[in-house]
Amino acid sequence: MAAIVKEGKVEIFLEKLHHYKGPGKKQAGFYNPALEIDRDLNVAFCEYAAAEGAKRFLDGLAASGIRGIRIAKEVERDIEVDINDYNSKSYEIMKKNIEMNKVKANALNENLCILLQKRRYDYIDIDPYGSPIPFISCMFRALKKKTFVAITATDTATLCGIYRKACIRKYHSIPLRGQASKEAGIRILIGYIARQAASFDYGFRPIICYAHGHFFRVYGVMEKGARKADESMKNIGWIYWKDGWKISGFEEMNERPIAGPLWTGKIYDYNVIEEIEEIIRKKELRKKELLLKLINFFKEEAELPPLYYESAFIAKELKAVQPKMAKIIERLEKKGYKAGRTHFMLNAFKTDAPYGIVKEIFR
């Protein structure tokens, strides 16, 4: 049944309205209402990018066009937005939505990889159904000296180790199955992006990288230069276990790795996140409070070590009663260690304490 949906400052026409909890199905004019909070964050990130000088924006796999239309309507600077989809039916729906919202945006109906050979952009959004791999290598032809990027992956089962062989084959990385698999999965995705960037003499710097429901989303910036690429490659390494999670680069590796290669560096830029937080506070958003809670998670995690421990897993291993999360964090901090929650899993925590100390807290 056809419907008009309001989100942010825009209204969009849909031929059918579905209420997906998961990734949904690939179809013309696809729109997932559950991802409104992600599109809110996307608008704030684009506002930040525009303040940094970005002028030309691309929503490369637009479907209904909601993401690109919101960028065109809600970013409060003079920018140019291209909204593209190869599917002809999606293109007609998207074009109708652009006209309905009276936004300054170009509707395009092209194969994304061909489009990326023709134009250069300051911001490129790749939001596919499935893996972004087919589009990542195409992207580098369209980069300027500095280009902001946003890349989505919905093949989380592959990245989280359920389909181990597929991860090795596609991302050239051994995934982690079990504890911390979500964070390891997103680090595999970032590592793949950074390695591809380096082969084109671009360095990649993550700004906000997170998991939400069925997908991973990576926001960052590409910067041209062999030195930038070399610096970025210093953050490629492995995960291993030695009295707790350890993560290290190629040159430091002296233990047998259990996952990787992947991104070992920071996945949050605290200072930029603070700027984005201020942008969010000034905007009228239906889910503002929920988004600000998520932003607060990112800020806390930016100060914590990589990878997390699942409290239910530890309690089961020790045959112990599972303490409340607040109590776990309090006990670790009293012992002088860093500790905090993670957005990856509500029943998990991060700490720099050795695993032996972590187990003491559960006994």
Mean pLDDT along residues 242-261? 81
Co-location of 78 and 213 in the same domain: yes
From the number of C-beta atoms within 10 Å of its C-beta (0-12, 13-18, 19+), residue 242 rates as exposed
Q: pLDDT band at 254, cuts 50/70/90?
A: low
Contact 104, 130 (CB under 8 A): no
Question: Which SS3 state, helix, strand or coil, does residue 279 take?
Answer: helix
Residue that terminates a domain, selected from 275, 297, 329:
275
Structural domain including 343 reads 308-363
* Mean per-residue pLDDT over the chain, rounded: 94
pLDDT in tens, 132-169: 999 999 999 999 999 999 999 999 999 999 999 999 99
pLDDT in tens, 240-250: 999 899 888 76
Rg of the chain taking only CA atoms, in angstroms: 21
Question: Which SS3 state, helix, strand or coil, does residue 201 take?
Answer: coil
Co-location of 268 and 334 in the same domain: no
Mean pLDDT along residues 38-50? 98
Instruction: Give the H or E element holding residue 296.
Output: helix 288-302
What residues have CB less than 8 Å from 328, skipping those under 6 apart? Answer: 311, 339, 349, 361, 362
Q: Domains in the chain: how many in total?
A: 2
Residue 297 lies inside a defined structural domain of this protein:
no
Long-range residue pairs from 189-192, CB within 8 A, at least 24 positions apart, any chain: 189/132, 189/151, 189/153, 189/159, 189/216, 189/218, 190/218, 190/220, 190/262, 190/263, 190/267, 191/236, 191/260, 191/261, 191/262, 191/263, 192/133, 192/136
Q: Where are the beta strands (DSSP E) in the chain?
A: 3-7, 10-14, 56-59, 80-84, 105-108, 121-126, 143-153, 202-212, 215-224, 236-241, 245-249, 259-263, 309-310, 339-342, 345-351
pLDDT in tens, 101-133: 999 999 999 999 999 999 999 999 999 999 999
pLDDT in tens, 83-98: 999 999 999 999 999 9
How many angstroms separate the first and last alpha carbons of the chain?
Answer: 56
Residue 299 lies inside a defined structural domain of this protein:
no
pLDDT in tens, 5-43: 999 999 999 987 555 444 444 555 567 877 899 999 999
Residue 67 lies inside a defined structural domain of this protein:
yes
Q: Residue 40 is part of a domain; what is its CATH number?
A: 3.40.50.150
From the number of C-beta atoms within 10 Å of its C-beta (0-12, 13-18, 19+), residue 137 rates as middle
For the entire predicted model, the pTM comes to: 0.95
Residues in the chain, total:
363
Pairing type for strands 80-84 and 105-108 reads parallel
Mean pLDDT along residues 262-291? 98
Residue 288 lies inside a defined structural domain of this protein:
no
Q: Residue 327 is part of a domain; what is its CATH number?
A: 3.30.56.70
Contact 116, 142 (CB under 8 A): yes
Contact 66, 97 (CB under 8 A): yes
- What are the two backbone dihedrals, phi and then psi, of residue 124, each rounded to the nearest 5 degrees? -125, 125
Q: Where are the beta strands (DSSP E) in 154-230?
A: 202-212, 215-224
pLDDT in tens, 221-231: 999 999 999 99
Co-location of 178 and 317 in the same domain: no
pLDDT value of position 277: 99
pLDDT value of position 22: 47
pLDDT value of position 24: 47
pLDDT value of position 34: 79
- For residue 77, pLDDT over 90 is answered with yes
- For residue 252, pLDDT over 70 is answered with no
pLDDT value of position 28: 56
The Cα–Cα gap between 151 and 156 comes to 13
Co-location of 110 and 211 in the same domain: yes
Contact 139, 159 (CB under 8 A): no
